Amino acid sequence: MSLPLSGLRVLDLTRLLPGPLCTLWLADLGAEIIKIEAPEGGDYARWYPPIRQRMSGIFAALNRNKRSIAMDLKHPQAVEAFLRLVPQVDILVESFRPGVMERMGLGYEQLRVLNPRLVYCAITGYGQDGPLAQRAGHDLNYLARAGLLDVQRKADGSLPMPGVQIGDIAGGSLVGVTSILAALYQRERTGEGSFCDVSMSESLLSFLVMELGQRAAGLVQEPAENFLRGGVPCYGVYACQDGRYLSVGALEPKFWATLVQVLGLPELLHEALEQGEAGQRVRDALTEAFSKKTRDEWVAIFAQHDACVEPVLAVDELAQDPQWQARQALLSHEHPSEGDFVLPRSPIRLRGAEEPSLLPAPSLGQDGTVVLQELGFSSEEIEALSLSGALLLPE
């Protein structure tokens, strides 16, 4: 079975993380990605340290299976050339502030005249309208504005910094792909494209659906009291003898019963959900029990018991984990100038579909000539664009 998006062509005007990961997942589903970059420097992620050889590891990881055109969209001739591309593509993804594309003459209403079937996806921090539409921001700001930082508040009132870019990836990349796929399905029924307004901060509000449901039912808790945030002993993280950790998610009675039996603490059978001083007493007992063996010794023991106990793995341990090896969740990828990478596979899998290609991330503008020729530009037209400064071609 061919890849589901084979035959679809995407213009990718995004940079850094949210948009490039969105288009990477589209590429892994079979879409052809044409990455449009500014001639001066290109995608900012190209130069984000550390640099492997000629590009950053981040850029190489996010931009495989894409082709690069270095086109200055502030140049009138580049805009004219870009408009010639629009009727030949299916999807456009951009991450500028609202109004930027319109000022260049490339907004959705302008482009849909040329291509009524175009699916246009704009990924922004706060959406296309509202008082914050023009506000600059990054992942931490979106988490804060959406209430997600506050619900992570610890008992002492401090706020932990998130270890990964939740807003960028879950609020931007994933919602971007979902919106595009929905718009493509609608296009199949109606023949018309759509504008996908992806607000990373607004997308994060969905993470509070359980919290808001509880509040509607009259339960208002301090974050540290919530049973899913360490408020009860059956759901938390415990240190082992070697300083490494186990996650315990024994919420259901059957799992808690198994856990306390394995730990030799049967007297705690009915104390899984204790809070306050009583909860701390139970937590201390579990802490003492787990401290008697190393993490991996406990992993071997709990491999024989269904108790919702799993190791806290470090990033460097992931490639050796049997589950991820069995799923082939991480792939080896060799870049001709940057060397070997171990990267996560796309989380979007269709059984029976062919494997996506593994083209290396492109150098800035390396595909300009080939792609433009494929899309109907003559050699003379490409040379004229280059001489005018509208297009950067590799030496």
Please tell me which residue in 12, 28, 72, 168 is annotated as part of the active site.
168
Q: Which of 122, 121, 144 is nearest to 133 (CA)?
A: 122
Where are the extended beta strands (E) located within the chain? Answer: 9-12, 32-37, 66-71, 91-94, 119-124, 195-199, 235-239, 245-249, 309-311, 330-335, 339-344, 391-392
Rounded distance, CA 203 to CA 194, Å?
19
What span, in angstroms and rounded, lies between the C-alpha atoms of 353 and 6?
11
Q: Sign of torsion, CA 150 152 156 159? A: negative
Catalytic option among 75, 138, 197, 321: 138
Instruction: Give the list of residues 6+ apart from residue 32 with CB closer than 8 angstroms, or none.
Output: 8, 9, 10, 67
In this structure, are strands 309-311 and 245-249 parallel, antiparallel, or unpaired? antiparallel
Q: Are 287 and 239 in contact (CB under 8 A)?
A: yes
**Whether 197 is catalytic:** no
138 in active site: yes
Q: Give me the active site residues, please.
A: 138, 168
